[in-house]
Structure 1
Amino acid sequence: MADLEPLIGEPLALDLVNTRPLGADLLETPERLADWLRLEADRLPEPPPSHLTGGDLAAVHAVREHTASILDALFGGRRPPAAALRGLTDAQTAAPAVRRLDWNGDTVTETPARIGAPGARLAAHLADAAATLLTDPAVRRVKKCGADDCVMLFLPAHPRRQWCSPERCGNRVRVARYYHRHKAAD
């Protein structure tokens, strides 16, 4: 089913939250997580781990749930749960950020990196993406899809955007409206 394909192209943290469409989990297994990571590979600082474990999946799920919980609170005008904020910080701390030093033959260079197990580095990067989104004033513009049966979130580039995807929900809503108008005329 097309609606069970990951929706990508939003800020990485929203893409992660959007892996929970209504009644489904698109990151249900380490293999499904690997598939999603391949779709997002150009947005990751390092290649995804070659072998993902249940523990890696649990760490990513935790980041996703913390991010969703914080966004839900912000949508409701409430204070984000302290446990969710702490959870994102814990994910970042599990793979500390360092400035890796190297020599390029002429001068010392630095490259930002995270140290730790591959799954912890992945969860830390996703927590970083969540922190970037949540601290950006643009987070106030994040919207829920206007389709009744959709829970996807998006950051609209245009203020009149109503749906997570014009091809998915936008088309479905337009077809339903058309059908309803023509059925009522009969």
Structure 2
Amino acid sequence: MLAIDFVNTLTSEDDHLEEWVSSQGLPWSERLRELRGQVEAAVLAARDGHEPDLAPLNAALRGAPAYDVLTWSGAVEMSREREGDEVARALAVLAGAAAELLASPAVRKVKTCEAPGCRLLFVPAHPRRRWCDPATCGNRVRVARYYQRHKD
């Protein structure tokens, strides 16, 4: 999910937003950092059944309105384009991804990783999943438990 990936660019150790934005082919702007915090706050509020602050997301969506474009290449194809400058389009794309998550039932399933020191969000494939990545965070927790059980 693009919205979760966007929020997870801030880990407990580093901020990977600039690298991630570049890998997505989006232009860099400090406004993306601000939007990331607003998306995270909205997702966590909606997950917990509280009313999120949707004004910043709506403003980003209005900054680059979307419209459908029809083209022909053997069959009619429809694509979605956005108006506005590069940064406004990037903000609108990311706000749109957040809007899709916020409007879906999946937002109630979003979890925060239970590993100590990890702040990443994820939508679990299984309801009992507790860690963002069982191979890293899950393994660290299991190794720490094993160590505690077997030390002197």
Could you state the TM-score of these two structures normalised by the residue count of structure 1? 0.72
Give the corresponding residue for 1:67: 39
Give the corresponding residue for 1:141: 109
Task: Choose the corresponding residue for 2:6, options 13, 16, 19.
Answer: 16
* More off after superposition, 115-124 vs 160-169: 115-124
Closer, same or farther: CA 182–58 of 1 in aligned 2, 3 Å = same
Structure 2 contact 70–79 (Cα < 8 Å) conserved? yes
Which amino acid in structure 2 is aligned with residue 20 of structure 1?
L
Residue pairs, 1:36-185, within 5 angstroms = 36-37=20-21, 39=23, 41=24, 48-49=25-26, 52=27, 56-81=28-53, 85-102=54-71, 104=72, 110-183=78-151
Deviation for aligned residue 1:179: 0.8
Gaps of at least 5 residues in structure 2 are none
Structure 1 contact 96–115 (Cα < 8 Å) conserved? yes
Q: Percent of counterpart pairs with the same letter? A: 45
Closer, same or farther: CA 105–174 of 1 in aligned 2, 3 Å = closer
Structure 1 contact 59–91 (Cα < 8 Å) conserved? no
Secondary structure of 1:127's aligned partner:
helix
Deviation for aligned residue 1:38: 5.4
Deviation for aligned residue 1:100: 2.5
Secondary structure of 1:178's aligned partner:
helix
Residues 3-37 of structure 1, C-alpha deviations (whole Å, 9 max, x = no match): xxxxxxxx11111111111253222xxxxx2x314
What's the Cα RMSD here? Answer: 2.2
Q: Is structure 2 residue 9 aligned with structure 1 residue 25?
A: no
- Matches of 2:74 and 2:11, distance apart in 1: 51
- Matches of 1:80 and 1:146, distance apart in 2: 23
Secondary structure of 1:138's aligned partner:
helix
Deviation for aligned residue 1:77: 3.8
Which amino acid in structure 2 is aligned with residue 26 of structure 1?
H
- Greater relative contact order, per chain length (Cα 8 Å cut-off, separation 6+): 2
Could you state the TM-score of these two structures normalised by the residue count of structure 2? 0.87
Structure 1 contact 145–162 (Cα < 8 Å) conserved? yes
Closer, same or farther: CA 181–67 of 1 in aligned 2, 3 Å = same
Which amino acid in structure 1 is aligned with residue 101 of structure 2?
L
Give the corresponding residue for 1:30: none
Which amino acid in structure 2 is aligned with residue 97 of structure 1?
A
